[in-house]
Structure 1
Amino acid sequence: MMRQLHVFDRPNRFVAGTVGTPGDRTFYLQAVDGPRVVSVSLEKSQVAVLADRLEQLLDDIVERTGTALPAGESDNDALAQPIDEEFRVAAMGLAWDGDAGLIVIEAQAPVETAEEAEETLLEDVEEGPDALRVRLDPRVARSFVERARRLVAAGRPPCPLCGMPLDPNGHVCARLNGYHRGTSLDS
């Protein structure tokens, strides 16, 4: 299949964002450069992993080069509208382009085999899954990490017993095994 590769080199904006209320949110990565907007959906856990791996990569770069990479300007704006999902993210890749001094992030659409994903991720090939590839200044990447962390933390609070998210309408906790304090079994 012919691959559609959405490439953004130092876009005006690259953020993670959501649509919906906690417990019913859809997560997106969105790249914006002028009138061009590309949005791809993904899981909350993928946003968290991307933020963690990106921070590790940035810390490694600081350690190797000895240069500080503070965050750039904070972006707290909503996602650009309309949000037209290009694809759902199945695989992600992360790299450092040392020659250009840029972070490379690629989010890839689903493929049939893991081997196909490995062969095409971060590669310039004509055949393969659609992908969003963004090249970022490290300061912008650091800002991305901060926003992604706030986004993930803004969800439903966890149950203190089982760690699962608490719903506003109640929570059936596996740790309580159906027992509720104050109820009698003698009824």
Structure 2
Amino acid sequence: MPRKVYDFTNPRRFVAGTVGQPGERTFYLQASDGVKTVSVALEKEHVQVLADRLEDIIDEVVRRGTVPPIESPPEDLEPLEMPVDEEFRVSALGLAWDDEKKAVVIEAVSGEAGSLDEDQIFSDDDEGPDVLRVTLDASAARAFAHRASAVVQAGRTPCPLCGIPLDPSGHICPRQNGYHRAVLT
């Protein structure tokens, strides 16, 4: 089956967002150019790593003088565009700087077609897994990274001892061997 390539160059909107309550959230990347909107599901860790690496790339190209320093990016606080129809679940992410376009290229690759070969990321072959490819200028990439980090941090508060997210129904901390400390009054 031929692969579907959802290609967005400087989309009107590219964001990370969630659906659901903290602890039960599903994370999405969503690209929209006004005519079409594509949403792909991925893991929370993927979103955080993508945001961190984007920040690293933008910092590096600014340091090298490839692009001018970026002021604070505009904030996008709007929710995901509804309905959120998942095109596929991401199994791998690719990230590159296109020096000719002075832009970041983000590629989210589906893993539904079986095992993923590293050569299938940034490939123009007609065969292979589906892919969402987004090209962003440095300012838009920085704005995406800021929002993505905020979305990840908006989840449950971590336990101060073990770092595992606290559930509203309670938490058995492995650092306390499952026991709660007695509170002396």
Report the TM range for the smaller structure's normalisation: over 0.9
**Residues 1:109 and 2:106 are matched in the alignment:** no
How many residue pairs get aligned? The number is 181
Name the structure 2 match of 1:172: 172
Distance 1:9 1:179 in 2: 53
| 1:129 partner letter | P
Which residues of structure 1 form unaligned runs of 5+? none
| Secondary structure of 2:64's aligned partner | helix
- Aligned 8 A contact 1:16 1:47 in 2: yes
Which residues of structure 2 form unaligned runs of 5+? none
| 1:35 partner letter | V
Name the structure 1 match of 2:95: 94
| 1:131 partner letter | V
| 2:84 partner letter | I
| Secondary structure of 2:133's aligned partner | strand
User: Considering only aligned residues, what root-mean-square deviation do their CA atoms show, in Å?
Assistant: 1.4
CA deviation string 1:107-133 (max 9, x = no partner): 00015334x2x1110121111000000
| 1:82 partner letter | P
State TM-score, norm by structure 2: 0.93
Give 1:64 deviation, angstroms: 1.3
Give 1:71 deviation, angstroms: 4.1
CA deviation string 1:133-157 (max 9, x = no partner): 0001110000001101111111101
Q: Percent identity?
A: 54
- Aligned 8 A contact 2:15 2:31 in 1: yes
Name the structure 2 match of 1:47: 47
Which contiguous aligned blocks of 4+ residues in structure 1 show a shift greater than 4 angstroms? none
Name the structure 2 match of 1:57: 57
Using the TM superposition, name which of 1-10 and 60-69 deviates more. Answer: 60-69
Distance 1:176 1:182 in 2: 12
- Aligned 8 A contact 2:172 2:179 in 1: no
Alignment of 1:121-132 (within 5 A): 121-132=121-132
Distance 1:71 1:137 in 2: 14
Distance 1:39 1:178 in 2: 39
